[in-house]
Structure 1
Amino acid sequence: MIPMLLLSLFVAVPATKAETDLGLTVDAAILIDADSGKILYEQNANTPLGIASMTKMMTEYLLLDAIKAGTITWDQEYHVNEYTYKMSQNRALSNVPLRADGIYTIRELYEAMAIYSANAATVAIAETIAGSEAEFIKLMNKKAEDLGLEGYKFVNSTGLNNADLFGKHPDGTGAEDENVMPAKSVAKLAYHLLKDHPEVLETSKIEKKKFREGTDDEIEMSNWNFMLPGLVYKYEGVDGLKTGTTNFAGYCFTGTAERNGTRLISVVMKAVDENGVGSYAARFDATAKLFDYGFGQFSKQEILPANYVFEDKKSIPVTKGKEDSVNIAVKEPISFMVKTNEKDLYKPVLTLSKDELEAAVEEGTVVGQVVIERTEGTDYGFIDGKEFTADVVTTSAVERASGFSLFFQGIGNFFSNLWSSVTGLIGGLF
């Protein structure tokens, strides 16, 4: 008899194992199509982990929301306080030094945050929007809820360890608290950020920029995203989005790249090399593997054409009409990213919302929906949890029959029903 412990070694499957093994040495990863949100790959994507400065994507989101709403302007000025001054002087925390009596525009602070991951600049933005970082955290959590994120916890606006905030961690949070989120929620945040504020890429793609150029405070900001063109781990098409590194979170990166009209979003969390050591190279190598996989093996394909007709359900009955049925078909085509050799694994499933219609019937009347389902293997679905569907509609109109015709239809139906009742009764006798 095989001992239970030994048996478990043969049957246990690691929870982090993806169906397609890309050889990623990360705690979690995900790859999605930025257009549709189709998930192309995931590995341990539902486990909350440290997100470090990837947190700043939420701060960017709320700032760009405020700019769009007109409650904050790019030229609006921020006056440095004791806390943001002290934080900015710690260059080990990634900062542009701010003057104790300095005044900075929101645009300057935003560029420092988006390009150089400047932490004091990030807190300054949070204070400007909400009055305090503690109040800003409430906005972060509300936005996360609105976006349908799961497993998230925000305790500051930057992603720093709360323990590094000089005892000034936001009210309601503890010194040992950390920002956490699953890879899937990080990707969902990035997905909605790019949908709602694509202009964020105009800043995230900047490789180098001088902060306060031409002044005594001038400092060169180099983007921490080393996959941008011209930098050491350059990858064709990369133009964002946000790195993150702390002792708690390890080396993380939310990347995005566009090639030939296809944009992908990737997330890697706590990346390490083959020796188990975290590094910049580890997170960018893992990201490159994800992008190679996405661009190399997937393409946008038409799964179902417009006007598709189901062979076993070409029409539905119509009552009180000049015709007794009307043809139906899929209204719009359905296309999304799939592996080039797996298109035939996706099949349409029809669900009718109406078994029959009463005339008059207009062309284009919605009578149901078609859902695309995968017949075998794993389909990761969409980042928003939606299904890819299309309306099924009538392809022509059916006029209502005249009163005279309806009279005879009624007589016909009466005798038809009567005959059915009689035959049913006779059949019951025997």
Structure 2
Amino acid sequence: MIPLLMVSMFAPMSQASAETDLGLTVDAAILIDAESGKILYEQNADTSLGIASMTKMMTEYLLLDAIKEGTVSWDQEYRVTEYTYKVSQDRALSNVPLRADGTYTIRELYEAMVIYSANAATIAIAETIAGTETEFLKLMNAKAEELGLEGYKFVNSSGLNNVNLYGMHPTGTGAEDENVMPAKSVAKLAYHLLKDHPEVLETSKIAKKTFREGTDDAIEMSNWNFMLPGLVFEYAGVDGLKTGTTNFAGHCFTGTAERNGTRLIAVVMKAVDSKGVGSYEARFDATAKLFDYGFSQFTKQELVPADYVIEDQKTIPVTKGKEDSVGIATKEDLSFMIKSSDKDAYTTKLVLDEKELEAEVKEGTVVGKLVVERKEGADYGFIDGTELSVDVVTTSDVERAGAVSLFFQGVGNFFGNLWGSVTGFVGGLF
């Protein structure tokens, strides 16, 4: 295999802008573009921290997977167990009380989980899907591995500290364990949840709803996401996604908002105010700063157009063909969210898979990639580790030469190589 050939093209670049200090008083934060997964900002995003009820995004994911696969249905009924009954009666936790002898539809439980962060309802969903919460943890871990999450530990389906589960916490977990994950993995979980199940927003955007309306068990559920329209920290465009609060995790939030066709995902962990005190307001203020930064400073820009011909490498050599070279160009455009002022802060580098091709060559054959790199300063990349690059392909066919033509090509190559050897030898004499 011929080593990779690298050709760099540098255009005049301005100095990259220094990263903005957003002044976030949080243990960790991250902001990404929900469409591409481009990371726009991060702060201590690789450190595993408590995630509290943001855990429920994984339970939502697995339920929506099961609904799509047909293994669980919305009108399926769940019969309350001793475990879910005891947890549901603890009103110091976020819960809708469940009757010991009651049955509830999966849709009812799902809405209680997504809107009200109801913990027993979440455990009920886990039991429905896997039989027990212990078995459900295996599904959570398998999905996390599938999504490429890192630094996570799941000990229950709800995000509570295990000490709150009345001694019935999943087998193999500690009595005071709590779920942990880095902000980057939380954002990646939210990113894939919205990609695979965007319908979750139809429920997460509901500010208030009555559980079991019209019955003696009716309970008003107010969404803990106070950034939703009409609530105290309303922020235009917010329609999800999941709050989380425990003593261990502090005040956390995974928020998402859409404006003018751009959707952002923000994660803040253990938010505090200027005095170091955690609060609902602190987490929503931090989230608003992230959204303000993203919506005001970033736009989707085309850095490389489709069918772009690289000035310094318009063709690649072809052997044994009717033509001795073939044109190359980018297969498609490369566009992503960057700071409006930073378009000139990037350069491109052509990376070819091989030095030459052998005919027969088909149009559209991938011969390498055009990599976009930031000349100076930090670029956080993509939440899935995707490279900033676009495929480079051939722009036409090159047929294989006939036998006679190949013969004369061979003769020419022979004498060309021979002449090169002779001149090298003669030159060596002097």
Pair 1:96-2:128 in alignment: no
Number of the residue aligned with 1:303:
303
Q: In the aligned structure 1, how far is the partner of 2:374 from the partner of 2:19? A: 15
1:408 deviates by 2.1
Q: In the aligned structure 2, how far is the partner of 1:167 from the partner of 1:397? A: 69
Q: In the aligned structure 1, how far is the partner of 2:404 from the partner of 2:137? A: 70
SS of aligned partner of 2:381: coil
Deviations 1:349-379 (A, max 9, x none): 1110121112222211111111111110000
Number of the residue aligned with 2:56:
56
Question: Which stretch of structure 1 is more off in the superposition, 110-119 or 310-319?
Answer: 310-319
SS of aligned partner of 1:91: coil
Number of the residue aligned with 1:172:
172
Q: In the aligned structure 1, how far is the partner of 2:74 from the partner of 2:143? A: 21
Q: In the aligned structure 2, how far is the partner of 1:166 from the partner of 1:218? A: 25
Pair 1:148-2:148 in alignment: yes
> Structure 2 stretches of 5 or more lacking a match?
1-17
Amino acid at match of 1:25: T
Number of the residue aligned with 2:210:
210
Number of the residue aligned with 1:110:
110
Q: In the aligned structure 2, how far is the partner of 1:27 from the partner of 1:414? A: 68
Number of the residue aligned with 2:139:
139
Aligned-residue RMSD, C-alpha? 1.1
> Structure 1 stretches of 5 or more lacking a match?
1-17
1:19 deviates by 4.1
Deviations 1:62-111 (A, max 9, x none): 11111111111111110011221111111110100111100000010000
Amino acid at match of 2:427: G
Amino acid at match of 1:383: I
SS of aligned partner of 1:393: strand
Deviations 1:358-409 (A, max 9, x none): 2222211111111111110000111111212211111122222233322222
Q: In the aligned structure 1, how far is the partner of 2:425 from the partner of 2:96? A: 91
Pair 1:367-2:374 in alignment: no
Pair 1:356-2:361 in alignment: no
- Identity score, percent: 81
Q: In the aligned structure 1, how far is the partner of 2:410 from the partner of 2:183? A: 62
Q: In the aligned structure 2, how far is the partner of 1:177 from the partner of 1:365? A: 53
Q: In the aligned structure 2, how far is the partner of 1:47 from the partner of 1:20? A: 21
Number of the residue aligned with 1:384:
384
1:322 deviates by 2.0
Pair 1:23-2:28 in alignment: no
Amino acid at match of 1:380: Y
Q: In the aligned structure 2, how far is the partner of 1:19 from the partner of 1:340? A: 13
SS of aligned partner of 1:400: coil
Amino acid at match of 2:192: H
Amino acid at match of 1:369: K
Amino acid at match of 2:108: E
Deviations 1:4-25 (A, max 9, x none): xxxxxxxxxxxxxx94210111
Number of the residue aligned with 2:292:
292
1:233 deviates by 0.6
Q: In the aligned structure 2, how far is the partner of 1:393 from the partner of 1:409? A: 26
Alignment of 1:203-282 (within 5 A): 203-282=203-282
TM-score (norm 2): 0.94
Deviations 1:7-47 (A, max 9, x none): xxxxxxxxxxx942101111100000001100000001111
Amino acid at match of 1:115: I
Q: In the aligned structure 2, how far is the partner of 1:402 from the partner of 1:171? A: 71
Amino acid at match of 2:239: D
Displacement over 6 Å in runs of 4+: none
Amino acid at match of 1:188: K
1:146 deviates by 1.1
Q: In the aligned structure 2, how far is the partner of 1:416 from the partner of 1:81? A: 85
Number of the residue aligned with 2:317:
317
Amino acid at match of 2:150: E
Deviations 1:303-336 (A, max 9, x none): 1001111121111111122221111111100000
Q: In the aligned structure 2, how far is the partner of 1:363 from the partner of 1:86? A: 66
Q: Which has the higher contact order (CA 8 A, sep 6+)?
A: 2
Q: In the aligned structure 1, how far is the partner of 2:320 from the partner of 2:179? A: 63
Question: Which stretch of structure 1 is more off in the superposition, 288-297 or 160-169?
Answer: 160-169
Question: Which stretch of structure 1 is more off in the superposition, 115-124 or 397-406?
Answer: 397-406
Amino acid at match of 2:190: A
Question: Which stretch of structure 1 is more off in the superposition, 226-235 or 406-415?
Answer: 406-415
Pair 1:119-2:119 in alignment: yes
Number of the residue aligned with 2:85:
85
Q: In the aligned structure 2, how far is the partner of 1:230 from the partner of 1:428? A: 86
Question: Which stretch of structure 1 is more off in the superposition, 317-326 or 332-341?
Answer: 317-326
Q: In the aligned structure 2, how far is the partner of 1:64 from the partner of 1:370? A: 38
Q: In the aligned structure 2, how far is the partner of 1:162 from the partner of 1:429? A: 85
Amino acid at match of 1:171: T
SS of aligned partner of 1:348: strand
Deviations 1:221-253 (A, max 9, x none): 110000001111110100000000011111000
SS of aligned partner of 1:288: helix
SS of aligned partner of 1:174: coil
